[in-house]
Amino acid sequence: MEEKVNSLEELLKDSPTNWGRWGKDDEVGALNFLDRQEVLRGIKAVRQGKVFTLQVIIGSDKGDPVWPGRTSAIRINVNDKGYYLAGKNKPLYGGLEYADDIIIMFLQGTTQIDALGHTWYGDRIWNGYNAIETIGGLNKASVLPIAQRGIVGHGILIDVAWCKGVESLSAGEEITLNDLLSCAKKEGIEIQKHDILLIRTGWIAQFFKKGPAEFYKNFLEPGLTYRKELVEWFYKMEIPVLGTDTIANERTTHPETGIVLPLHAALMRNLGVIFNEILWLEDLAEDCRKDNQWDFLYVGAPLKINKATGAPINPVVIK
């Protein structure tokens, strides 16, 4: 009888890797594919002057969509008119008053970029660095080098929900490589090497529509999952960035083995693909359906936070 695969080591034993491809000190992985030619290719997609921002709002009245166990952002006013009225603060010389606030949040608690060292298995993070490097702050493969470089390239939207004729994919619904390719065909585009790949499932919009109680019930996100041919396709196509409107960019578990977030291992840790999660794609998708332009210039940079495991980002797309 065949034994059930129950570890990432076993599941990914023949999976490709980009470790060492950009030298032993690399910390930005597949972002290296986005060279000057790719920036110019992205700029060529700007044909109409339309601008879209892809971040979800932090601190909505429904809270923030986050991975279970994480909590919504807490934003607190620490100065405002009330402080002046209560005599707790005085106007500046000349009469100027001001409001101030602070925020306490998970750095992965909104639209964000994962550092390449964010997840690992077998005690090795991206490029083979020792997982010891994550203790107390990421000494290797933190989000900072990605933030310093910026992410600019030719992006495409694959609107899988629209291609399947639904408002949102259902819990646990898998997106296969064939779904991606046939949806691109329906949109009239061909996915090209080095494209920044944005996939719409309609899932995050359900958080804001239905609220957290319904959203987190039997939490099982839809999306891509580990399939040998899918990972080999990412490798061959040299996809630099994967972004989706889900919390974790992939089906929560691998259907056959139950292994959790296998693409964080196969794509992020092994191939160095940059993950842009919790995207707001509703407005962009609506526009793409109207004008039938599915490609664009993608521009974004996560916040420059030293040693961080990830950081918020508000990507800008220009068509």
Q: How far is the CB of 292 from ligand UVW (least distance, A)?
A: 32
Per rule CB under 6 A, is residue 108 in the interface with ligand UVW? yes
Q: How far is the CB of 274 from ligand UVW (least distance, A)?
A: 11
- DSSP secondary structure code for residue 163 in this structure: H
Q: Which is nearer to ligand UVW, 269 or 319 (CB)?
A: 269
Helical residues (DSSP H) of the chain, grouped into ranges: 8-11, 36-44, 81-85, 144-149, 160-163, 177-187, 203-210, 212-216, 228-237, 262-263, 270-271, 282-291
The contacts of residue 2 (CB under 8 Å, 6+ apart) are: none
Q: How far is the CB of 119 from ligand UVW (least distance, A)?
A: 5
The Cα–Cα gap between 173 and 234 comes to 20
Binding residues for ligand UVW, total number by CB under 6 A: 9
Per rule CB under 6 A, is residue 248 in the interface with ligand UVW? yes
Q: Which is nearer to ligand UVW, 11 or 247 (CB)?
A: 247
Per rule CB under 6 A, is residue 179 in the interface with ligand UVW? no
Q: Which is nearer to ligand UVW, 227 or 264 (CB)?
A: 264
Closest CA to 273 of 283, 264, 286: 264
Query: And the tokens for 113?
Result: 């970029």
Q: Which is nearer to ligand UVW, 157 or 247 (CB)?
A: 247
Q: How far is the CB of 92 from ligand UVW (least distance, A)?
A: 41
Rg, Å, the chain Cα set: 21
Q: Which is nearer to ligand UVW, 69 or 87 (CB)?
A: 69
Closest CA to 274 of 33, 36, 28, 37: 28
Q: Which residue has the tokens 């166990």?
A: 69
Q: Which is nearer to ligand UVW, 28 or 278 (CB)?
A: 278
Specify the 3-state DSSP secondary structure of 200. Answer: strand
Q: Which stretch binds ligand UVW (CB under 6 A): 54-62, 111-119, 184-192, 194-202?
A: 111-119
The contacts of residue 213 (CB under 8 Å, 6+ apart) are: none
Specify the 3-state DSSP secondary structure of 184. Answer: helix
- DSSP secondary structure code for residue 47 in this structure: -
Taking CB under 6 A as the criterion, the residue among 277, 282, 287, 295 binding ligand UVW is 277
Q: Which is nearer to ligand UVW, 42 or 223 (CB)?
A: 223
Taking CB under 6 A as the criterion, the residue among 26, 114, 133, 187 binding ligand UVW is 114
The Cα–Cα gap between 319 and 314 comes to 16
Query: And the tokens for 126?
Result: 């991206």
Per rule CB under 6 A, is residue 233 in the interface with ligand UVW? no
Per rule CB under 6 A, is residue 119 in the interface with ligand UVW? yes
Q: How far is the CB of 310 from ligand UVW (least distance, A)?
A: 6
Interface residues for ligand UVW in 10-69 (CB under 6 A)?
67
Other beta carbons within 10 Å of 234:
22
Which residues of this protein are in contact with ligand UVW, per CB under 6 A?
Answer: 67, 108, 114, 118-119, 247-248, 264, 277
